[in-house]
Chains A and B, each alone.
Chain A
Amino acid sequence: MLFLSYLISGISLGSIYAIIALGYTMVYGIAKMLNFAHGDVIMVGGYICFFACSYYGLHPLVGIVMAMVVCTVLGILIDRFAYKPLRQAPALAVLITAIGMSYFLQNSAQLLWGSGSRVFSSVIGKGSFSFFDGQLTINYLTVVTIVVCIVIMVGLVWFINQTKRGKAMRACSEDKGAAQLMGINVDNTISLTFAIGSALAAIAGVLLCSAYPLLNPTTGMMPGIKAFTAAVFGGIGSIPGALVGGLLLGIIEIFAKAYLSTQFSDAIVFAVLIIVLLVKPTGLLGKKINEKV
């Protein structure tokens, strides 16, 4: 029974990682860059929802929508000002810019909202389902997190595979030059990717803060890094890979803590990652791309 409850915690934590990992993986797949500011967009989403709900007393749903709108705009702005001027620059320059952007967001948040922690009140009501005479309890929040994760995943796969915009995205990710020649506006497509990724970050931020209700300007850091790991684990650039990677990472993390050692849980998680990458360098579901000459 304890095993089941750990498994559910793992899936719940993994679902949040998976939603965050989607942002990393989509941007990487299309713009071929690692957007390290993604974790901090999560934090901004958390703050917007927090202020909307706690200070202005708005309905949580309104708060979530507001967070999504603000994060979407923020994501597009980040792309336009920080990354677009560097489209032709070497990958390393973009990477450093992304790290700089991450610090910029953190410090701006500290200036605007102070550095003290705030307690986020969950957007999902308290309460839980009880099974086996109360031996196993599952929070509403856990259920919502898992359902949201699945809905997002299905929606995204449909969007990428069935719509024209999605087709444009896939084209850009395969060959930007050729896509442009076919009449696709590559810059707009990249902006759209940032917009979707950032809106997902807002949802992830709200879910993350609901589950672990302490909000401060560095809240997004560690989940961001873990989710990036999950994206690499699952195969960066692959959307189902982000889901698989996120879920596995969450489950391994919880199980490592539960059955091996709370002291070394992170070391164990990363050891598993190294082993997977040694055996399969492109990640679990990553595609091997052969350079054609």
Chain B
Amino acid sequence: MKKILSVCLILMLSIGLLAGCGGDETTNNNEGQAGGTENNAAAIKIGGTGPLTGGAAIYGLAAKQGAEIAVEEINALGGLQFELKYEDDANDAEKAANAYNVVKDWGMQISLGSVTSTPGTATASKNYEDRIFALTPSASSTSVTEGKDNVFQMCFTDPGQGAKSAQYIYEQNLGEKIAIIYKNDEVYSSGIYETFIAEAEKLGLNVVSTTTFTTDSQTDFSVQLGEAKNAGADLVFLPMYYEPASLILTQADSMGYAPKFFGVDGMDGILTLKGFDASLAEGVILLTSFSADAQDDMTVNFVTKYQDKYGETPNQFAAGAYDSIYALYNACTNAGVTADMTAEQINDLMIEQFTTMSFDGLTGTQITWSSDGTVSKDPKGMVIQDGVYVGM
């Protein structure tokens, strides 16, 4: 009996292993350090947390990789040296606090905050308490910066996205009748929805159907889509991350409903979802501040390096993190920051720099920050054509 059992177990395990071969290994990469300056005492230590595993791993990994490229470039210049360390927060506020502590113990002098909003809010409070300056590449909720004088954002805020989406639809005359599907148990999605609907009313957009879903019910969208179809909506607004969005696109296709779909920055990543049929995303419009297809030198340089190193096209999270490192670099150079300063000394210099300086990067030019930490930057509308983003 025991023999049969052990044979069964071995079989099971080997099947599992074989199956595992098909997957990718990057998701298990829990921590990463970059920069050619291994433990160089003269390097400024920059720490960040982000979802390197879990459902939002596409964002965390992209941000980490984008930041790594910037750090390598800066270190190659020979002047100020940076050392980068990312810890995994799995898109969870509690884990983010622990991950933050790990990088703090490592000796973090400047923080890159978190990549997503929920953990971002948790680590931002810690940044504020510990007086460690933070510039988050992509945590877009207003709760990340609110009431914290030393937390800044590289991305536009959620309310900004909602209003901007409505203006885009209005200005470009994208839809006569608009349906909205949003996730009402997530601050990101409902936050964008609220500002969108307020702006839509102001502009006189015709919203014919508003339906919701939650984490527990994000499988079946036949009713939400059926209602939108029945109301004759020719544009469906989807303020959500790409995972539920991919299900909506698939189900709309199978019921033969083909309106225009309009997403926000959470839609970014849909083309890199494993096994997703990119033809379903054809014609989807999304808001982002970065286009990998732009032809300026800076973008071309970044995209080429990123593709060489990681074998995929960078998204706006990678670009945001790249810009964040450069913004920090500029600020450090201007203020004459050196590696032997304490985090608190750097913090005060950085606040002064960020409220006065202007920055040109991949995600915008003449970027400035207000003292509440938000950035002056406009999202660009992109439309997916033949599997790539095209500006509109």
Contacts and interface: CB of A to CB of B under 8 A. Distances in A.
A82 to B, nearest CB: 14
Contact of A114 (B27, B226, B227, B276): B27
Given A55-B22, A73-B8, A73-B11, A115 B57 contact: yes
B23 A114 contact: yes
A139 B220 CA distance: 14
Interface in B213-229: 213-214, 216-217, 219-220, 222-224, 226-227
23 contacts: A5-B222, A6-B222, A9-B222, A54-B22, A73-B8, A110-B53, A114-B27, A115-B27, A117-B55, A117-B243, A117-B274, A128-B254, A134-B256, A139-B254, A211-B220, A257-B217, A257-B223, A257-B224, A258-B223, A258-B227, A262-B223, A263-B184, A266-B216
Residue from B20, B230, B273, B275 whose CB has the most chain A CB atoms within 10 Å: B275
Interface stretch (A85-93, A119-127, A155-163, A171-179): A119-127
Interface in B1-50: 5, 8-9, 11-12, 15-20, 22-24, 27-28
Interface in B239-273: 243, 246-247, 250, 254-256, 273
Contact of A73 (B12, B243, B277): B12
Contact of A212 (B17, B216, B247, B273): B247
A54 to B, nearest CB: 6
A263 B212 contact: yes
- Per CB-CB distance, the 7 closest pairs between chain A and chain B, nearest first, are A119-B275, A55-B22, A114-B27, A212-B219, A257-B223, A51-B19, A9-B222
Majority SS at the chain B contact face:
helix
Nearest to A127: B254
A51 B226 CA distance: 32
Given A9-B223, A113-B19, A116-B57, A262 B12 contact: no
Given A114-B53, A223-B219, 11 more contacts: A6-B222, A9-B222, A13-B220, A48-B15, A51-B18, A113-B23, A114-B23, A115-B54, A216-B55, A262-B211, A262-B223
A114 B274 CA distance: 12
B97 interface: no
Contacts of B318: none
- Most B Cβ at <10 Å: residue of A47, A214, A223: A214
Interface string B45-85: 00000000111011000000000000000000000000000
Nearest to A66: B15
Interface in A30-84: 47-48, 51, 54-55, 70, 73-74, 77, 80
Contact of A214 (B20, B27, B227, B246): B246
Nearest to A264: B212
Contacts of A73: 8, 11-12
Contact of A265 (B5, B217, B277): B217
A118 interface: yes
Interface centre among B19, B22, B28, B246 (most CB of A within 10 A): B19
Nearest to A111: B28
Given A55-B22, A115-B53, A116-B274, A258 B226 contact: yes
A110 B57 CA distance: 13
A5 B211 contact: no
B243 A48 contact: no
A112 B29 CA distance: 14
Nearest to B24: A114
B220 A212 contact: yes
B212 A2 contact: no
B230 A2 contact: yes
Nearest to A212: B219
Nearest to A215: B275
B274 A119 contact: yes
B224 to A, nearest CB: 6
A186 interface: no
Contacts of A118: 274-275
**Most B CB within 10 A of own CB, among A55, A118, A119:** A119
A46 B332 CA distance: 51
User: Interface size bucket, A side?
Assistant: 35 or more
Nearest to B243: A117
Interface string A215-247: 010000011000000000000000000000000
Contact of A70 (B5, B15, B53): B15
A5 B9 contact: no
B19 A112 contact: yes
A62 to B, nearest CB: 14
B226 A2 contact: yes
Contacts of A121: 275, 277
A265 B213 CA distance: 9
Contacts of B55: 115-117, 216
A71 to B, nearest CB: 11
A137 interface: yes
| Most central of A74, A139, A253, A265 by chain B CB within 10 Å | A265
Contacts of A77: 8-9, 12
A5 B28 CA distance: 43
B23 A9 contact: no
B226 A214 contact: no
Contacts of B20: 112-113
Contacts of A126: 254
A116 B58 contact: yes
A231 to B, nearest CB: 18
A74 B216 contact: no
Contacts of B216: 222, 266
B139 to A, nearest CB: 20
A281 interface: no
Contacts of B230: 2
A265 B28 CA distance: 37
A166 interface: no
Greatest chain B CB density within 10 A among A9, A121, A126, A128 is at A9
A117 B250 CA distance: 15
Contacts of B223: 6, 9, 254, 257-258, 262
Interface in A104-152: 110, 112-121, 126, 128, 134, 137, 139, 141
Nearest to B253: A126
Contacts of A258: 223, 226-227
